[in-house]
Amino acid sequence: MALEPSDPLERAARALRDEERAQEPRWLELSESIMTRVRGISWPAARVLATDPEGRTDRDVLGSRTYVSSRVVRDALRRALTTSQVEPKDIDLRVVDDHLQRLDLQLVATYAQDLQEVGSWARGETLRVLDEQLGPLPDLDPDTDVSITITDLHDDDARLGDTD
Amino acid sequence: MSSSADLLEDASAPDGPVTDGTLLRAARLGDQGAFRQIVDRHGPGMYRYARTLVGHEQDAGDVLQEAFVSAWKNLPTFRGESSLKTWLFRLVHRRAMDHHRTRRPVPVTEEVFADVVADVSGDPVRQAESRELLADLRRCLGELPETQRACWLLREVEGMSYQDIGDTLGLPVGSVRGQLHRARTTLAERMSRWR
């Protein structure tokens, strides 16, 4: 059992630190209300025109079209590109007149990896997700309109931007 | 060296402790689950800090909520010039100062904190002493100038480095040292009756 410090200020500071344990039930309630408010705040998003497997935008004779929120596409890309060795840092979709025209992707990866292999894997995953979410995109050239930049990053670095 | 096959096999959520950097990157891309983990990791300390600064649980809860809502809204533009923890404490500090400016100060009474601390020893005498000690500390803290109080809390309770305290409060490190020294001296003197 740890000895109690003789200094009253240190004892009081310890009591203040220990307070967290006593506050747990209140904290759970509070964190839930924080997340309720957060879930009610949506970030800006654009609609992106999706195509059918043949690359057609019109789904029927009436000209029905399907749109997917850029937020959904970003989320799918984020999930697909997150592993224990790679994480997306930024996913920027440029949408003009409902068409996805460009995708800029920044990744961070742990050290000691073949970054060309990582890049190649990430490109394959990215194109697979785009096809899955939006269908074939005739306006998007995968070679010139999809940019993937990799930033090497140490695993335990808790800051962004330090390794740019 | 990893191969593409390794990466693909690893494509589920990583095991083990997740760093702040990983949570931050995911949350910046809209991952609410990652933001929830940030809230649960840093929120209790921020709440404790807010409560000591504003002196009232309900108000501290409001301050904390505003800080996290602001964090969520500003995540896409947060470039990581400071650590996540420092940034979050800066947000809660600002909201607490806003609160001070808009509300009349509420006198802190022992009763406010009477049920806050549970002494884990189970000894009623020690529990009572612990409650009184903490209430006295809070009274003494309440009498300190705001910057001294903030410096002391961030150092002694939240364990921040001088640099991080400076980043949180917008002060040079030398000033943090000075404020902390004055706070420690004053508190030690006022708490000396507990020796």
Would residue B136 count as lying in a domain? Answer: no
Mind listing the pLDDT tens digit for each residue in B173-189? 999 999 999 999 999 99
**Structural domain that includes position B97:** 18-106
The answer to whether the Cβ–Cβ distance between A157 and B13 falls below 8 Å is no
With an 8 Å Cβ cutoff, are A31 and B14 in contact? no
Q: Do B8 and A121 touch (CB under 8 A)?
A: yes
In this complex, the residue of B11, B12, B134 whose CB is nearest that of residue A15 is B134
Chain A residues with beta carbon closer than 8 angstroms to that of B59: none
Residue in this structure with the two tokens 């996805």, named with its chain if needed: A100
Q: What is the CATH number of the domain that holds B194?
A: 1.10.10.10
Mean of all residue pLDDT scores within chain A: 85
**Nearest Cβ partner for B68 among A34, A43, A71:** A34
For the ranges A147-156, B104-113, B115-124, B178-187, the lowest mean pLDDT is seen at B104-113
pLDDT score of A7 more than 70: yes
Count: domains in chain B: 2
Question: B82 and B155, same structural domain?
Answer: no
Residues of B in contact with A16 (CB under 8 A): 48, 52, 134, 137, 157
| Cβ–Cβ under 8 Å, residues B6 and A144 | no
Query: pLDDT tens digit string along B114-149?
Result: 444 444 456 666 777 778 888 888 889 989 999 999
Predicted TM-score of the model (pTM): 0.77
CB contact (8 A) between residue A13 and residue B156: yes
**ipTM, interface predicted TM-score of the complex:** 0.78
- Among A38, A79, A91, A128, which would you mutate to test the B interface (most chain B Cβ atoms within 10 Å of its Cβ)? A38
CB contact under 8 A, B15 and A84: yes
Tokens of A155: 């695993």
Q: Which residue of A has its CA nearest to B137?
A: A12
Decide if A13 and B68 are in contact by the 8 Å CB cutoff.
no
Residue B153 counted as domain residue? yes
Angle made by CA atoms B107, B111, B115, in degrees to the nearest 5? 130
Taken in order A132, A133, A135, A140, the sign of the CA dihedral is negative
The mean pLDDT of chain B is: 82
Average pLDDT over residues A132-159: 79
Distance from CA of B4 to the nearest CA of A (A): 6
Two structure tokens written together for B89: 């404490």
Q: Are residues B100 and B154 in the same domain?
A: no
Kindly determine whether residue B2 and residue A19, on different chains, have CB atoms separated by under 8 Å. no
Does residue B79 sit within a domain?
yes
Q: Alpha carbon A43 to chain centroid distance?
A: 13
Top pLDDT among B15 and B85 is at: B85
Residue A109 neighbours by CB distance under 10 Å: 22
Residue A137: which residues within 8 A CB-CB, separation 6 or more?
Answer: A51, A55, A99, A100, A130
The alpha-helical segments, DSSP class H, found in A40-152 are 70-80, 115-134
In a domain, B172, yes or no: yes
Residue B113 has pLDDT above 70, yes or no: no
Chain A residues within an 8 Å CB radius of B12: 83
What is the model's pLDDT at position A92?
94
Cβ count near A136 (within 10 Å): 14
**Burial of A1 from C-beta contacts in 10 A (0-12 / 13-18 / 19+):** exposed
CATH number of the domain enclosing B85:
1.10.1740.10
Report the phi/psi class of residue A97: left, alpha or beta, with left for phi > 0 and alpha for psi in -120 to 50: left
In a domain, B89, yes or no: yes
Mean of pLDDT values over A30-40: 94
Distances (CA, A) of A110 to A72, A87, B67: 26, 9, 31
Name the residue among A20, A34, A85 with its Cβ closest to that of B7: A85
Residue B168 domain-assigned?
yes
Q: How many Å apart are CA B172 and CA A64, to the nearest integer?
A: 61
Q: Note every long-range contact of B90-94, with CB atoms under 8 Å and residues 24 or more positions apart, other chains counting.
A: B90/B167, B90/B168, B90/B169, B90/B170, B91/B67, B92/B46, B92/B49, B92/B50, B92/B63, B92/B64, B92/B67, B93/B49, B93/B53, B93/B150, B93/B168, B93/B169, B94/B67
The proportion of chain B whose per-residue pLDDT surpasses 90, expressed as a percent, equals: 48
The structure tokens listed for A63 are 């000209």
> Which comes out higher in pLDDT, residue B94 or A61?
B94
User: Average pLDDT of A8-13?
Assistant: 85
Tens digit of each residue's pLDDT (9 = 90 or more) over B33-70: 999 999 999 999 999 899 888 888 889 999 999 999 99
Indicate the residue among B106, B122, B152 that finishes a domain.
Answer: B106
Longest dimension (CA), chain A: 84
Matching CATH number, A47-152, of 3.40.50.1260, 3.30.70.1350, 3.40.190.10, 3.90.580.10: 3.30.70.1350
How many other CB atoms sit within 10 Å of the CB of residue A32?
11
B19, B45, B73 ranked by CB distance to A41: nearest: B73
Say whether pLDDT at B108 is over 50: no
pLDDT at position B117, please?
46
Q: A–B: how many Cβ contacts below 8 A?
A: 177
**In this predicted model, what pLDDT tens digit does every residue of A70-100 receive, in sequence order?**
999 999 999 999 988 899 999 999 999 999 9
Q: Which residues contact B77 (CB under 8 A, 6 or more apart)?
A: none
User: Rounded to an integer, what distance in angstroms lies between the CA atom of residue A95 and that of residue B40?
Assistant: 35
Domain boundary among the residues B86, B106, B126 is at B106
Percent of chain B with pLDDT over 70: 79
> pLDDT class for A134, splitting at 50, 70, 90?
very high
| Cα-based distances in Å from B39 to A117, A118, B36, B80, B92 | 35, 31, 5, 17, 12
Percent of chain A with pLDDT over 90: 51
Chain B nearest CA to A101, separation (Å): 20
